[in-house]
Amino acid sequence: MASIAASKAGSDRNRTFLAILIPVLVLFIAFNTIPLLTGFFYSFTDSKGYGAFEIVGLQNYIDLFQDARVGNSYLFTFKISVVSTILVNVISLTLAIGLSSKIKFKSALRGIYFVPRILGGLVVGYVFSYFFTYIVPALTGTTSMLASKEWAWVAIVVVLVWQACAQTTIIYITGLSSVPEDVYEAGALDGATGWDKFRYLTFPLIMPSITTNMVLVMKDMLMTFDQIVAMTSGGPAQSTESISYLIYQNGLNNSQFGFQCANAVIFFIVIAVISIAQTKFLNSKEEQL
Amino acid sequence: MASLSLEHVGKKYPNGYEGVKDFNLEIADKEFIIFVGPSGCGKSTTLRMIAGLEDITSGTLKIDGRVVNDVEPKDRDIAMVFQTYALYPHMTVYENMAFPLKLRKVDADTIDKAVREAARILDLEKLLDRKPSALSGGQRQRVAMGRAIVRAPKVYLMDEPLSNLDAKLRVQMRAEISKLHDRLGATIIYVTHDQTEAMTLGTRIVVMKDGVMQQVDTPTKLYNEPCNLFVAGFIGSPQMNFIDVQVSEKGAGVALTFGANTITLTGPKADALKQGGYVGKVVVMGIRPEDVVEEHEYAEGRTLSETFPASVTVYELLGSEAMIYADVDGGQISAHLSAASAVRTGSQIKCAVDVDKIHLFDKQSELAIAH
């Protein structure tokens, strides 16, 4: 009797699990897996995004590696991603340490620093576009950074960093609060104060947060899109074309649908490899708490 | 090693709450001082003020004659063992113990020697490469102790270091700490709420309540001559029996009456009651369970009072002996019995008390009148 009752309870529970799982799975397959596989298929065609197309085998992939514009977009994307990821993490960790100390208006300040996170990338991009086009030149007497091939990427990094710091800071605050207070107290008695305290205690103990933030920020930066659309449209002279922007622009507007699908597949692999490599490397630095 | 001096030390929090009030204590070199009291009595706060982890809001703290109120914790030359051990989770046992010396820029050879010596004393030699997460509670506790030892500080502070250990390990570690004190000849200040730890370890015990020091004395004196009702009740397990008694003159002595029962007292205790003007008043009589004797129990060498009837409500066999809790006219009483006693729950018995062991307290001020 008991085992029948138990198996009935078990099957009820399974039904509940399935009822929760299936709708999500259907949506995920419909909007993620199928488009991914469709894109993978189109990457072997010469599709313009409309009309008839032919299978061209690996030609798109071969062309990709010979296309200077694609190469430049990868270089640009890697440049802004590496610079932004480092800046975001350094600034956020500094902010988080400040916002975790005994200061007045701590909660209010934490709220203010989180505001960029709730604004859309496009909105922020347009606001900063105005700022760099009109306000900065008016104050400094120079031309707009966004119109300069040498400086436009810096303006984009400024916006990316400004916006990404919000979430990264929150994750660091959480990480810092998970370090037991008594460890710091023991450190204070042992002589770990100031820089020693950070170097020997705080830094190793928040390694899990550092891993999370490095991977998340790097991934977000590699996929930069909104800010490019709002600020430079890839210009001047294609000097700020991120990979995502190039895929969108040439894939949907310039009849290179098949070719850019191949680009997207390669890009997907690149991001996955970087994220896995980062996670593996940083996990090895993490300490078991 | 060092002496400590706390003069009128107080801790007042920004919200006005006074955690410690006017704390005065001289601690001599090599003393093993215990701070004991119930939760929230201010014992840990006092310890943390000595460590420098809490600001001292009034009074003066001196270590070896130097005022250290505003000296950073690291510059006070003290080591602390925390209740939670507070080991560095990302460092191995070796690194944990070496850390304080490394920060003091001690050369690697000296560090290695100090760590291995501490590991040998604490039997940690085989665990040096492990991280704290791979250690048991007792091992972690020993590492925390080791981290303190390697520095050879002036003063060791221990904040309930055994309270997270199971009962058996606690007894073992208690003995280890006692040995360590003898071996290091160290000045140790030890906080606990466990009065057995306090009694067995301390050269002197400081009993605290509500931020106020109640009594400072040797364990024996504290047990035999508690200065007030709180100390009398706190030290000793099970706690001392307290019965309100009416004092009246009886010949050369006095009679203590509770309900229909009377105990006659003569000698210094009776004199103290008379001289204190307590005749005709109610005082509190305190008597420890081991000084309450059932009429069939062996009582050689004791000066017993008149017997009084008691009705046993609870009987607990503890192995080598038994405890009873009984109702008496005018109060309740607990007593130790031998395990062979035939008394059980529901038994109607006759008890007496050892009059030499009676403690008397003022009912209003709760201060001791005589022991």
Secondary structure of A200-217 in the HEC alphabet? HHHHHHCHHHHHHHHHHH
Find the DSSP H helices in A101-206: 106-118, 121-130, 136-140, 152-177, 181-190, 194-196, 203-205
CB A188 to CB B86 under 8 A? no
**Dist CA A271 CA A34 (whole Å):** 20
Angle at B243 between CA B239 and CA B246, to 5 degrees: 155
- The minimum CA-CA distance between B150 and chain A, rounded to whole Å, is 11
CB A190 to CB B147 under 8 A? yes
CB A190 to CB B78 under 8 A? no
Q: Does A189 touch chain B (CB under 8 A)?
A: yes
Indicate if ipTM > 0.90: no
pLDDT band at residue A147 using 50, 70 and 90 as cut-offs = confident
Predicted confidence at residue A13, as pLDDT, reads: 87
CB A180 to CB B84 under 8 A? yes
DSSP track, A74-85 = HHHHHHHHHHHH
Predicted confidence at residue B190, as pLDDT, reads: 95
Residue A65: helix, strand or coil by DSSP?
coil
Chain A residue whose CA is closest to B90 = A287
- The minimum CA-CA distance between A278 and chain B, rounded to whole Å, is 20
Residues in chain B closer than 8 A to A189 (CB atoms): 51-53, 73-74, 78-80, 100
Q: Are B291 and B325 in contact, with CB atoms under 8 Å apart?
A: no
**pLDDT block averages, 10 residues each, chain B of length 371:** 90 93 94 93 95 94 93 92 92 95 93 93 91 91 91 91 84 87 89 89 94 95 95 92 95 92 93 94 96 86 91 93 93 92 92 94 95 92
Predicted confidence at residue A3, as pLDDT, reads: 61
Residue B47: helix, strand or coil by DSSP?
helix
Cβ-based interface (< 8 Å): residues of B facing A: 51-53, 72-74, 78-80, 82, 84, 86-90, 99-100, 103-104, 131, 133, 147, 151
Strands B155-159 and B187-192, by their bridges, are: parallel
Q: Does A208 touch chain B (CB under 8 A)?
A: no
**Dist CA B100 CA A93 (whole Å):** 26
Only one residue has tokens 């800046």, namely A87
Q: Are B326 and B310 in contact, with CB atoms under 8 Å apart?
A: yes
Chain A residue whose CA is closest to B152 = A190
- The minimum CA-CA distance between A80 and chain B, rounded to whole Å, is 33
Residues in chain A closer than 8 A to B133 (CB atoms): 288-289
Q: Does A183 touch chain B (CB under 8 A)?
A: yes
Q: Which residues lie across from B62 on neighbouring strands?
A: B5, B67
CB A188 to CB B82 under 8 A? no
Chain A residue whose CA is closest to B134 = A288
Q: Are B27 and B189 in contact, with CB atoms under 8 Å apart?
A: yes
What is the overall mean pLDDT for chain A? 89
CB A191 to CB B74 under 8 A? yes
Task: Read off the tokens for A84.
Answer: 């932004």
**Dist CA B217 CA B263 (whole Å):** 30
Sign of the CA dihedral with B299 first, then B305, B306, and B308 last: negative
Chain A residue whose CA is closest to B95 = A200
Predicted confidence at residue B152, as pLDDT, reads: 87
Q: In what order do the strands lie in the sheet with B292-294?
A: B292-294, B348-353, B308-317, B321-328, B331-338
CA distances from B229 to B21, B236, B365 (A): 20, 12, 9
For residues A14-39, average pLDDT: 93
Going by C-alpha positions, the residue among B59, B105, B50, B107 that lies closest to residue B79 is B50
Percent of chain A with pLDDT over 90: 55
CA distances from B189 to A257, B52, B122 (A): 77, 14, 20
Residues in chain A closer than 8 A to B78 (CB atoms): 189
At position B309, the amino acid (one-letter code) is P
Residue A67 DSSP symbol:
-
**Dist CA B358 CA B225 (whole Å):** 10
Residues in chain A closer than 8 A to B53 (CB atoms): 185, 188-189
Q: Are B47 and B35 in contact, with CB atoms under 8 Å apart?
A: yes
CB A190 to CB B74 under 8 A? yes
pLDDT band at residue A253 using 50, 70 and 90 as cut-offs = confident
Predicted confidence at residue A4, as pLDDT, reads: 65
pLDDT band at residue A140 using 50, 70 and 90 as cut-offs = confident
pTM greater than 0.90: no
Give the number of beta-carbon pairs within 8 Å between A and B. 69
CB B103 to CB A186 under 8 A? no
